[in-house]
Chain A
Amino acid sequence: MQKLRMNSTGLAVIFLVVGTAIVILEVLVAGAQNASLLLTLVFWVALAEGCIALVAAAELSHAQWILPIKRALLSVYPIILFISILFLFLGFKLDIYPWAAKQNAWLNKPFFLIRNFILLLLAFLFAWKFAVESGKESEKKNRYAVLYILFFVFSQSLVAFDWVMTLEYPWFSTLFGGFFFVESFYSGIALAGILCVWLLKQSTEDSDKLEKTLKDTATLMFGFALFWVGLFFAQYLVIWYGNIPEETSFLVTRLSDPVLGKLSPLVLIALFVAPFTLLLPQRSKSRSGLVQAMSMLIIAGIFLERLIFLIPVVSLNPFLVILEFLGLALLFAAVIANRHWLIRQS
């Protein structure tokens, strides 16, 4: 991580290189029918926006426990801009959507691109303003926190309803949007867990405070495991019980597939069973190794879940998925390593 510390030009170059590589691979190599870019966007936008949303919610409720990891979490805000720009290149691939053949007032290519781009951009702008003001501890920070959370919710809801749900138009689930923004928040908590452990290894100064933050993050993670499964169950039960073919198609497609049917329960294990049971004992919430493992498992679970959402309906290139994953992971590591100048403290 220390090697990634650089000035603004260096960081901009890294962003440019990764961005250009992804665009070249996606537009020139992969072709219009390949949706690897969509998977990358759907996963990383959740993680990036979730980190800022976690800090915004903590600031609004006057939470003190977030302070030791606040800067690291806030420093991911440039990624939202990166994703907003990358999203525009999805314009080349909109034929993956079934509605592209028969467009209507809501589902048409230009409007789809414009509304989502504007929302992502606004989410970025408020994330940026919030991150700067929060670093300075100015009075304006709460105002930006509220605005950010509003746009976070709208943006994540559209990620769910527009980017993913319309792949199977006219299938719908009203909870899909809520499920996505809660999951995004959950992934932010998971990243906070990883950051706590990483910072604990780095410094000895704030280790007392960081240990407390680690415990609180783990407690929140535990709570969200339960909350997540509550939402999952609320969605699953209504569809299963209603047993209407046009609703159950989404589940049947995935659960009746020989591979996906076996992979799907893993999502439930990663996002609920494992964090819930292993973080249940009080002491386990202070064990850094365990918290780190659970955080990684949760992030992996969310990735797997989104993979399962996309696989049956679009074609993905595993090589591109891995490369893009590594590229975005590098960008995350780079911004966090440069948090000192990205988020200036007063």
Chain B
Amino acid sequence: MKSEKVVERTEINYKEQLERDVLAAMAKPNRWYWVALGFSATCFLIGLISWGYQIKIGMGTAGLNNPVGWGVYITDFVFWVGIAHSGTLISAVLFLFRAKFRSSFNRTAEAMTVIAVMTAGLFPLIHLGRVWFFYWLFPYPNQRLLWVNFRSPLIWDVFAVSTYLTVSAVFFYVGMIPDLAIVRRLTTGIRKKIYGILSLGWQGSLSEWMHYNRLYLFLAAFATPLVISVHSVVSWDFAMSVIPGWHTTIFAPYFVAGAIFSGTAMVVTLVIPMRKIFSLEKYITLDHFESLAKLLLLTSLIVTYSYIVELGIAFYSGNVFETAIFKYRMMGDYKILYWIMISCNSLIPLLVFFRKVRRSLPSLLIISLLANVGMWFERFILIVTSLAKDFDPYAWGLYKPSIIEAGITLGSFGMFFTFFLIFTKVLPVLSMTELKEEHE
């Protein structure tokens, strides 16, 4: 009888402690938070100023030229859509697979997804030039009764990314409702009112939980094919063309794996400092990181497999254009970036095979940062080299990003981290209800 009481007391202690710790993360920020926010916001501002300058002066301020009409902006777009992937992967796919380690990361990953898709969504607009005409992309006839070209993969992208954003945002919000109700209970004043509205009057009754669980499962099942589809569509922006190095059937699964790789790396990059700053060591353990590191390794291996297959088949086919583009990537003007890409995406992640490495947070942080560098370069290499040297040597040309493109890229990172920092202060960073459930 006595031991039962002790167990009960420990349970209550864990739950109270968890709520306290998560609420503490949402409390008044310290100086370091303001420094981080200030830095991110400055970068964001630099991005906005650069974009403003580009709008005022024109697209000539970007380094884009003929033949390289797609450069850093499209690289950034693909990079951020990729980052957006693992949010839904960790949340939805791992939920369906009943992988319990997800509950320590899912909230962060979902927030990251929503913010990354928002960031990604800006790039087609930035790339558009006359951004005020962006609504022409909507599928309804304009004044001259012209429809968008449904056979263009670029318009598929508009559908894919906006669907993904909608579903990810709904999934993020629905998953948070019970936690918002906890925050409502533990706060006072205006905050209580705001969280009261946000939690939609959640009372935690049996009937509410039944409906909630069904909805969550449904959304997870609905979001899973979307994870695959959205980056497949992004890959088809390239694969539907006949440009050497782009037109290849493996692109869709390869892009999805690459996206999950970079997204998982970003989760590791964000969660390691967050765990330290908000003292969440008790809830995000080394075992959790180890599982995430294994996911990183798996996706890195798939990406490496794709590199090998692409290269191997190019030489197998004997097609001169395919062979030439892969030789150019390895030994041409952008070779340094290519080998950085291979090192960061294929070679360095192999260290995760060692248990010591995958259980060491500093090493994981370095590997994940390098993975993101590698994935950015991968997209750059893929986009720029194929355009720089396609079929006709007369039309070849090189591309060098301009300072404005660099500013806008910096701004996208600034935007991402600014929004993420705001998220950590206004919404619960851990899924309290799930962690409680797991603890039981």
Contact = CB atoms under 8 A, between A and B. Distances in A.
Interface string B247-286: 1111111000000000000000000000000000000000
A172 B313 contact: yes
B309 A173 contact: no
Nearest to A219: B96
Contacts of B249: 173-176, 234-235, 238-239
B316 A175 contact: no
A223 B224 CA distance: 10
A178 B254 CA distance: 10
A184 interface: no
B68 interface: no
A61 B99 contact: yes
Contact of A178 (B229, B239, B247, B253): B253
A234 B253 contact: yes
A contacts with B: majority SS: helix
B300 to A, nearest CB: 13
Nearest to A234: B252
B242 interface: yes
A242 to B, nearest CB: 5
Interface in B301-352: 305-306, 309-310, 312-313, 315-319
Contacts of B252: 175, 230-231, 234, 238
Contacts of A230: 225, 228-229, 232, 252-253
A242 B242 contact: yes
B416 interface: no
B97 interface: yes
Nearest to A162: B316
A238 B243 CA distance: 12
A175 B236 CA distance: 14
A244 B391 CA distance: 15
A50 interface: no
Given A237-B236, A238-B236, A175 B250 contact: yes
Contacts of A318: none
Contacts of A300: none
A241 B232 CA distance: 15
A153 interface: yes
Nearest to B295: A61
Interface string A154-189: 000100010000000010111111100000000000
Contacts of B242: 242, 244
A319 interface: no
A268 interface: no
A295 to B, nearest CB: 21
B324 to A, nearest CB: 16
A172 B232 contact: no
Which of A172, A226, A227, A235 has the largest number of chain B CB atoms within 10 A? A172
Interface string A115-148: 0000000000000000000000000000000000
Interface string A29-71: 0000000000000000000000000000000110000000000
Interface string B139-174: 000000000000000000000000000000000000
A170 B239 contact: no
Contact of A174 (B232, B250, B318): B250
B240 interface: yes
A113 to B, nearest CB: 18
Contacts of A174: 248-250, 306, 309-310, 313
Interface string A212-255: 00000000000100110011001101110110100000000000
B97 A178 contact: no
Interface string B217-229: 0000000110011
Nearest to B297: A146
A172 B317 contact: yes
A161 B315 CA distance: 13
Contact of A226 (B225, B239, B317, B319): B225
Contacts of B96: 223
A238 B251 contact: yes
Contacts of A223: 96, 224
A227 B247 CA distance: 22
A161 to B, nearest CB: 8
Nearest to A227: B228
A241 B240 contact: yes
A79 B309 CA distance: 28
B253 A172 contact: no
Given A230-B232, A244-B242, A238 B317 contact: no
Contacts of A161: 312-313, 316
B332 to A, nearest CB: 21
Contacts of B313: 161, 172, 174
Contacts of A238: 236, 239-240, 247-249, 251-252
B318 to A, nearest CB: 6
A235 B254 CA distance: 12
B26 to A, nearest CB: 33
A157 B247 contact: no
A107 B319 CA distance: 16
A234 B309 contact: no
A241 B242 CA distance: 9
A174 B229 CA distance: 19
Interface of A: 60-61, 106, 153, 157, 161, 170, 172-178, 223, 226-227, 230-231, 234-235, 237-239, 241-242, 244
A-B pairs, 8 with minimum CB distance: A234-B252, A174-B250, A175-B249, A175-B250, A173-B249, A235-B249, A238-B249, A174-B248
10 contacts: A161-B316, A174-B313, A175-B252, A176-B249, A223-B96, A234-B253, A238-B239, A238-B248, A241-B236, A242-B242
Given A173-B249, A174-B313, A238-B249, 18 more contacts: A106-B316, A153-B305, A157-B305, A161-B312, A172-B316, A172-B317, A174-B310, A226-B225, A227-B228, A230-B228, A230-B252, A231-B252, A231-B253, A234-B232, A237-B240, A238-B236, A238-B239, A242-B240
